[in-house]
Amino acid sequence: MKKTSVFGPTTALAAMVANPLAAQDAVGIDDKVNQVFADLTGPFVSLIFAPFPGTSFPWIVMWLVIAATVFTLYFGFVQFRFFKHAVQLVKGDYSDPNDAGEVSHFQALATALSGTVGLGNIAGVAVAVGIGGPGATFWMILAGLLGMASKFTECTLGVKYRNEYEDGTVSGGPMYYISKGFNELGLPGGKILAVVFSIFCILGALGGGNMFQANQAHAQISGIVGDYPGWITGIIFAAVVFAVIVGGIKSIANVTEKVVPFMGILYVGAALVILIVNYDQIGWAFGQIFAGAFTGLGVAGGMVGALIQGFKRAAFSNEAGVGSAAIAHSAVRTKEPITEGFVSLLEPLIDTVVICTMTALVIVISQQMIINPETGSYMLNEAGTAIATVDGNSGVALTSAAFASGISWFPYVLAIAVVLFAFSTMISWSYYGLKAWTYLFGESKTSELVFKVIFCVFIVIGAAASLGPVIDFSDAAIFAMAVVNIFCLYFLMKLVKTELSSYAARLDSGEIKKFTH
């Protein structure tokens, strides 16, 4: 997920400065919408993001991290024990050649990754490191490693309890495993919880998976070409998304799905180039990360400040426990649902442990954050809220400056990457939202079309206005998905354990074996 308030409302405000009359009206409408939304949703947002008393640590982050720890322990460190097996599954070593042409493990993983890798990895990490210092990276990696067990749990259930229809299509996700799983265990309330999850999923899809992306993409584009009204970006994005999800113009989706992984590889490649060029500083950078993790190295909040930022970023970036990935992974063709669980645990590894860490290392090595030469600790900005940077950059601008220090033209590539990531995230979340919608309202063509049109309308709204409270609410909805999903996973994890024991025994006995390809 790409939740980071890196651009804020400045873009829309700047656009309004250019046209004062329109600005007056627009501000008036924005203010009204903001006010209504803030009044209606404020308590919900405050509840989801409420910090523990006396701290700034949001309880929802702890909820996700504790769940990841519980799943890690309950499944006996499945993310390490079955890591090699997960890689073999993705390579296709265990795929039956007679199933060729079906969705492969690799394809399901790549699709799910395109929904999570993006702005969070680029801008979000900069926010975490900028506030929590290099030490935040250590906690981010730890949370990413633990999150692998959450993904394993939810994605196994996603495949096990999906709906397979007569026409050969599939629908899966938390709403299906919650209702069917609770039913199987004889527990009450499964249907209601599934409905509540679906509602949050729709809201999350329209918000974090749509409006937030449109808003950030517009901010990125206007940052390069100059300010212009956001609705123009919105209309263009909406038209393209409409062409893909309603018009079924596969060529656009195909191009995106091919370009986005390329952008991801280019991003990691550029980070590697910078790290190789500065190889003599890698040891120092890791030293900063470890020292910062336990001392804070002068950041606001010290060690706890670093820990909060790291945990927060990992949880927000890889979506482990949110339930969205279970929808994407459930399309795979396999006789063993747990194999997709193994494959999915690679997702937080790639998203958080690899890509986020790369970003963090480049930022640390580029020395954009100012160190006090006398104390060796980081200097804080004037407000004392974050580490002072060379040009006062934060968020995506800090990442951009860090990469530019090694490869001067890279910010342009980064800008294109951000826009494409935003687009691919919208496509992914349009599907997640649609599945929740059809769970509630049925799988008819009309029902699907209604959601898709609503989705496109929200793109325009998201790009056109800086509706802070609306976006806050959307993010809260995504994390509310995690509240329902994880609550249910605690009840359903025994079903996954049964699958795991059975599969592990058959793997050990040689009953499950590799195919010769």
Partner 1 sequence: MTVKLVVGLDGTETGDRALAFAKDLASKIDASELIAIYVIEWSPFTFQTADENAKRHLRREEEIELATSRIVEPAVSALRKAGFNARGIVRHGDVAETLDKLTVENEGSQIIVGRASADGFTKRMFGSSTQNLVMHASVPVTVVG
- Residue 324 Cβ vs partner 1, minimum distance, rounded to whole Å: 10
Does 328 interact with partner 1 (rule: CB under 8 A)?
Answer: yes
Among 93, 184, 257, 443, binds partner 1 (CB under 8 A): 257
Does 359 interact with partner 1 (rule: CB under 8 A)?
Answer: no
Main-chain dihedrals φ then ψ at residue 380, nearest 5 degrees: -90, 160
CA distance 137 to 313: 9
95 versus 153: smaller Cβ distance to partner 1: 95
- Residue 328 Cβ vs partner 1, minimum distance, rounded to whole Å: 5
Amino acid sitting at position 285: A
Residues contacting 396, CB < 8 A, separation 6+ = 6, 7, 119, 122, 123, 126, 220, 414, 418
57 versus 423: smaller Cβ distance to partner 1: 423
Does 167 interact with partner 1 (rule: CB under 8 A)?
Answer: yes
The DSSP letter of residue 7 is: S
- Residue 205 Cβ vs partner 1, minimum distance, rounded to whole Å: 12
Does 388 interact with partner 1 (rule: CB under 8 A)?
Answer: no
168 versus 188: smaller Cβ distance to partner 1: 168
341 versus 411: smaller Cβ distance to partner 1: 341
Does 497 interact with partner 1 (rule: CB under 8 A)?
Answer: no
Tokens of 276: 């190789």
CA distance 48 to 25: 32
Among 4, 11, 34, 111, binds partner 1 (CB under 8 A): 111
Stretch that binds partner 1, among 231-239, 243-251, 286-294, 335-343 (CB under 8 A): 243-251
20 versus 168: smaller Cβ distance to partner 1: 168
CA distance 149 to 401: 34
**Three-class secondary structure of residue 254 per DSSP:** helix
Burial label, 186 (beta-carbon count in 10 A; 0-12, 13-18, 19+): exposed
Does 198 interact with partner 1 (rule: CB under 8 A)?
Answer: no
Q: How many residues bind partner 1 (CB under 8 A)?
A: 38
- Residue 241 Cβ vs partner 1, minimum distance, rounded to whole Å: 12
140 versus 331: smaller Cβ distance to partner 1: 331
CA atoms within 13 A on the CB side of 53: 0
Residue 187: Cβ within 10 Å count: 14
Residues contacting 354, CB < 8 A, separation 6+ = 268
Stretch that binds partner 1, among 195-203, 256-264, 298-306, 377-385 (CB under 8 A): 256-264
Query: Across the strands, what pairs with 369?
Result: 389
Among 43, 53, 54, 101, binds partner 1 (CB under 8 A): 101
Among 10, 35, 56, 169, binds partner 1 (CB under 8 A): 169
Q: Is the Cα dihedral 412, 418, 424, 426 positive or negative?
A: negative
Q: Contact letters (x/-) for partner 1, 414-433, by CB under 8 A?
A: -------------xx--xx-
Return left, alpha or beta for 442; rule: phi > 0 is left, psi -120 to 50 is alpha, else beta.
left
Cα distances (angstroms) measured from residue 146 to each of 28, 351, 492: 46, 13, 18
CB 100 within 8 A of CB 347: no
The DSSP letter of residue 103 is: P
Does 108 interact with partner 1 (rule: CB under 8 A)?
Answer: yes
Does 86 interact with partner 1 (rule: CB under 8 A)?
Answer: no
199 versus 427: smaller Cβ distance to partner 1: 427
- Residue 103 Cβ vs partner 1, minimum distance, rounded to whole Å: 5
Separation of first and last alpha carbons in the chain: 36
Stretch that binds partner 1, among 6-14, 102-110, 197-205, 341-349 (CB under 8 A): 102-110
Q: Which helix (H) or strand (E) holds 281?
A: helix 279-295
CA distance 464 to 47: 28
CA 417: distance to chain centroid?
15
41 versus 210: smaller Cβ distance to partner 1: 210
Does 246 interact with partner 1 (rule: CB under 8 A)?
Answer: no
Q: Contact letters (x/-) for partner 1, 40-69, by CB under 8 A?
A: ------------------------------
Main-chain dihedrals φ then ψ at residue 254, nearest 5 degrees: -65, -45
Does 331 interact with partner 1 (rule: CB under 8 A)?
Answer: yes
Stretch that binds partner 1, among 36-44, 51-59, 164-172, 223-231 (CB under 8 A): 164-172
Stretch that binds partner 1, among 27-35, 101-109, 291-299, 344-352 (CB under 8 A): 101-109
Among 43, 168, 186, 510, binds partner 1 (CB under 8 A): 168
Q: Which residues bind partner 1 (CB under 8 A)?
A: 92, 95, 97, 100-108, 110-111, 114-115, 167-171, 244-245, 250, 253, 257-258, 260-261, 327-328, 331-333, 427-428, 431-432
